[in-house]
Structure 1
Amino acid sequence: MGIQDIIEGKKQWRAHVARVKALPRDYQIVYKEIQRYFFKVGPVGLADGTLLSGIVDFFEEGVADGKGVLELIGNDVAAFCDDLVKDSRTYADIYQESISGKPGTAAK
């Protein structure tokens, strides 16, 4: 990863954060909870940036349709997050595999 990649990554992240800040307050609160959950659970594909930006896209559509954030995701933020990454590998899976000593044996 070169310096240009780092600079471009920072620009993209700042643009992403600006999009989140443009959302209504209730959407921002839920987004931050989703982000916190994903940073804790750690889906492996989180670093490519499509998951979080996809959520912002989804939220922006909800705002445009005049829907509340809980109408979109339901009352359980963790369940919403789990549904998004149910078929994805997480860092928890990798950790379980490392302590079991058997690659590919982590339960889904």
Structure 2
Amino acid sequence: MGIQDIIEGKKQWRAHMARVKALPEDYQIVYKEMQRYLFKVGPVDLPDGPLLPGIVDFFEEGAAAGKGVLELTGTDVAAFCDDLIKDSPTYADLFQDSQRGGSGTVEK
């Protein structure tokens, strides 16, 4: 990974966070909680994958339709997050696989 890749990654992250800050306040709060949860238990490809931008897209559409954020996610936001990542390998999966003497990659 070169310096250009790092700079480009930062630009993309800042643009992503600008989109989050443009959301209504209740959406921002739920997004930040989801982000915190997903960074703890989430998939291996979370930082570079399409999940976080997809959540922002979903929230932008919901806000434009005038819906409350909990109408979109339900009251159990952690369960909503778990459902989003149910088919994705997580760091916990990789760790468990390594403890069993596996190859270090997880197939789900």
- TM-score, normalised to structure 2, is 0.92
User: Which residue does the alignment assign to 1:77?
Assistant: 77
SS state at 1:9 partner:
helix
SS state at 2:80 partner:
helix
Gaps of 5+ in 2: none
SS state at 2:47 partner:
helix
User: Which residue does the alignment assign to 1:15?
Assistant: 15
- Give the drift of 1:98: 1.2
- Give the drift of 1:103: 4.2
- Give the drift of 1:45: 1.7
Separation in 2, partners of 1:40, 1:12: 21
Percent of aligned positions that are identical: 79
- Give the drift of 1:102: 3.3
Separation in 1, partners of 2:23, 2:99: 41
User: Which residue does the alignment assign to 2:43?
Assistant: 43
Structure 1 position 88 matched with structure 2 position 95: no
Gaps of 5+ in 1: none
Question: How many residues get paired?
Answer: 108
Aligned letter for 1:83? D
- TM-score, normalised to structure 1, is 0.92
SS state at 1:48 partner:
coil
Could you list the structure 1 runs, at least 4 aligned residues long, displaced by more than 2 angstroms after superposition: none
Separation in 1, partners of 2:102, 2:52: 31
SS state at 1:46 partner:
coil
Separation in 1, partners of 2:30, 2:103: 35
| Structure in which a larger fraction of residues adopt helix | 1
SS state at 2:67 partner:
coil
**Residue deviations 1:70-107, cap 9 Å, x none?**
00010001100011010000000001111122348x7x
User: Which residue does the alignment assign to 1:25?
Assistant: 25
User: Which residue does the alignment assign to 1:57?
Assistant: 57
Aligned letter for 1:24? P
